Structure 1
């Protein structure tokens, strides 16, 4: 690295220039008669003066050499100081860049973590909504016999559930999340399934041609649990659906109101 001397600083004159000036000064004194008047009293003094002049010149030369050494040391010290300052500046810049890189990396890590946590929360919320959602027991069907309809076909004299129109072999789904508490023959209900829902209520599915779940099994909304049929006390294939407060017959509640309260359009 090259160092440029600051403006206004001037180097001492070179040894040759200083010596030349010294000799020129002595010559000027001689020409004016000063040296001659001092040396004129005796010829013997000439040799002594010459010796003194020689010593003076040697002293001047030694002084110049000492001054040059001191100046060279000063220049070296200044160069070292400038180099140290440059190194300190470079180290400060490198440290700042490293801190900035670390800051960006930490910010990126926090952003990635926040995005990951947001996705996880969204997934949990979607799963929660899915598990809390309700669906119709048979997709695209309609109610063919209403709740509490009167007829001698039922031992109680009125319908304890609703019937969904369905050909035999149509997929029957759990209306919501819960646990199967009954799966098998149910007397006049034929093959039936009773599910304890997660909200503590119960749903029942009757007259099935087949059952595809077992007691103790957990189900989710829309899971196929069997196929519709005409088993038990029926006049034709359909799905009998009940909402209950207990798993037992006689605890029925309005299934239309139940499904609508859970967002099912029936």
Structure 2
């Protein structure tokens, strides 16, 4: 027959029941942060096995590990954020540097293109100026005037008339090529004395007579205003001057009006 006790609410709890209830209370207080100062003195003498049954030691160990894990995760997130910010900053710096280098390269290319354009323009202007210079004509004697006109009659000339014009010039005055051409004769010319004949670039011929000395040779190219000799009174001459002729061909007798010839090339005579 089983052992039984009388039932009723005034039954005194057993020692085992009280101890279990008190230990459970301590566990509840500890999990809420309340330290065991409120526990009865009898709890301090409770069986260690009873404390182990509550799991208090395991709960504290798990809490510390979780906190450390949370801290490590937060640190990792902060580090990741810092790394991302640094990477973004480096990317922006690289983009800025690339944009600056591109701007500089474009500016340099633009400056080079501008310099090239200016240089080409200067070269074109220089070539044009040289072309104009080579195509211009000048007077054979600077600051002079015609002292004897074209086709003037007289016994002085074997043809009966003057085949050119005479420019007033003291002996030793510089004589210029009136335009661009090639020297085809340079030396003694009989009645013309020391003379030079130039085949001009337009196919006509110009002749310079009675000079005291010559400065060019056959085959030499000359440009407008270039010195070809000095005036004098050699050959069939009555005094120092420059005899100037213009011809349509190289042969004698193909002479044309020298004044009209020079004026047609822009020379004010």
TM-score (norm 2): 0.80
Structure 1 unaligned spans of 5+: 1-21, 37-42
Query: Counterpart of 2:224?
Result: 221
Query: Counterpart of 2:254?
Result: 251
Residue 235 of structure 1 aligns to a residue whose secondary structure is coil
Q: Say whether 1:25 aligns with 2:25.
A: no
Residue 203 of structure 1 aligns to a residue whose secondary structure is strand
Q: Say whether 1:230 aligns with 2:233.
A: yes
Shift of 1:46: 8.7
Query: Counterpart of 2:244?
Result: 241
Query: Counterpart of 2:145?
Result: 142
Shift of 1:44: 6.7
Q: Matched residues in 2 for 1:23 and 1:104: separation? A: 76
Residue 154 of structure 2 aligns to a residue whose secondary structure is coil
Give the 5 Å matches for 1:8-19: none
TM-score (norm 1): 0.81
Residue 151 of structure 1 aligns to a residue whose secondary structure is coil
Residue 95 of structure 1 aligns to a residue whose secondary structure is helix
Give the aligned length: 236
Q: Matched residues in 2 for 1:25 and 1:49: separation? A: 18
Alpha-carbon distance change, 159 to 62 in structure 1, aligned in 2, over 3 angstroms: same
Query: Residues 81-112 of structure 1, C-alpha deviation per residue, up to 9 Å, x if partnerless?
Result: 11111111111111111111111121222222
Q: In terms of mean alpha carbon deviation, does 65-74 or 176-185 score higher?
A: 65-74
Residue 182 of structure 1 aligns to a residue whose secondary structure is strand
* Greater C-alpha radius of gyration: 2
Residue 102 of structure 1 aligns to a residue whose secondary structure is helix
Q: Say whether 1:54 aligns with 2:75.
A: no
Query: Counterpart of 1:73?
Result: 76
Superposition RMSD on alpha carbons, in Å? 2.5
Give the 5 Å matches for 1:69-218: 69-218=72-221
Residue 96 of structure 2 aligns to a residue whose secondary structure is helix
Q: Matched residues in 2 for 1:251 and 1:66: separation? A: 118
Q: Matched residues in 2 for 1:133 and 1:192: separation? A: 23
Alpha-carbon distance change, 229 to 50 in structure 1, aligned in 2, over 3 angstroms: same
Shift of 1:165: 1.0
Shift of 1:49: 7.0
Query: Counterpart of 1:260?
Result: 263
Residue 55 of structure 2 aligns to a residue whose secondary structure is helix
